[in-house]
Amino acid sequence: MPISSIAVGSPSEFGSADALRAALAEFISTLIFVFAGSGSGVAFAELTDNGATTPAGLVAAAVAHAFALFVAVAIAANISGGHVNPAVTFGLFLGGNITLIRGILYWIAQLLGSVVACLLLKLATGGLTISAFSLSTGVGAWNAVVFEIVMTFGLVYTVYATAVDKRSAGNISIIAPIAIGFIVGANILAGGAFDGASMNPAVSFGPAVVSWSWASHWVYWLGPLLGAAIAAIIYDWILIAPTTHEPLPTTDYS
């Protein structure tokens, strides 16, 4: 798809009932996802004396995130598209599937959803530590950036292939939330031991705010956004032929 398909949108979208409903759906879905995902790490660490860093803890985190993301995407899909991730929103913006204005609303909702989820988790656990994402010993910041680029590329590519591509109608589009959840779970098994396997700036942002720990936080923005951009360029600009791809109706931008 040519770069001319990228749409800024109208400032009126900030007050559009449809856009605000979609942003609310993103807020709720992100809250559910982060509460379950981060909560699994807190619970496992509490039950096993910091066992969240063990292989069993990694498997538990992968399963919890996969299930939670499957649900979070599914429940928001018909309202907002079920992005639940600023990197996904950015990738879809580059493909002309969402306007810049609506994308900003989604980002705000996703980040707020993550912060509220972590605050609720801290309250519900009686003040237990909500650990921010961090790099493992021996892992450099740029090594982690590469991890995040590759993992987020796989995630956003999966989103395009199963949920965005109009040729994915029928059974493929139905399993989109499952596929998206599975790729995140698999990536956590692959990269979780090195940098936590965020793939999602919102997931990293909430714990960073609540714990007020910002060491290497930029890694969890730069890597996912670059990975999403590469996936969008390859899939939407190259693999989707102009004759088979239909842009979203203009009514979605109003």
- Residue 205 placed within a domain: yes
Helix (H) or strand (E) holding 71: helix 55-76
Q: 32-58: per-residue pLDDT in tens?
A: 999 999 998 888 877 776 655 678 888
CATH number (domain holding residue 20): 1.20.1080.10
Domain that residue 221 falls in: 3-248
pLDDT, position 10? 80
Q: Is residue 152 part of a domain?
A: yes
For the purposes of burial, counting CB atoms within 10 Å of the CB of 178, is it exposed (0-12), middle (13-18) or buried (19 or more)?
middle
Torsion of CA 145, 27, 233, 78, to 10 degrees: 150
The tens digit of pLDDT for each residue in 131-178 reads 899 998 889 999 999 999 999 999 999 999 999 887 766 666 678 999
Is residue 87 domain-resident?
yes
pLDDT 10s per residue in the chain (254 long)? 445 577 887 888 888 899 999 999 999 999 999 999 999 888 887 777 665 567 888 898 999 999 999 999 999 999 999 999 999 999 999 998 999 999 999 999 999 999 999 999 999 999 998 989 999 888 999 999 999 999 999 999 999 999 988 776 666 667 899 999 999 999 999 998 899 999 999 999 999 999 999 999 999 999 999 999 999 999 988 887 565 444 555 455 44
- Kindly state whether residue 12 falls inside one of the protein's structural domains: yes
Side-chain-side CA neighbours of residue 218 (13 Å): 3
Tell me if 253 is assigned to some domain: no
Structural domain count, the chain: 1
For residue 254, being part of any structural domain is answered with: no
Phi, psi of 61 (to 5 degrees): -65, -40
What is the H or E stretch that residue 148 is in? helix 141-159
Give the pair of three-digit tokens for residue 31: 């809250």
Structure letter (DSSP) for residue 84:
-
* Residue 94 resides in a domain: yes
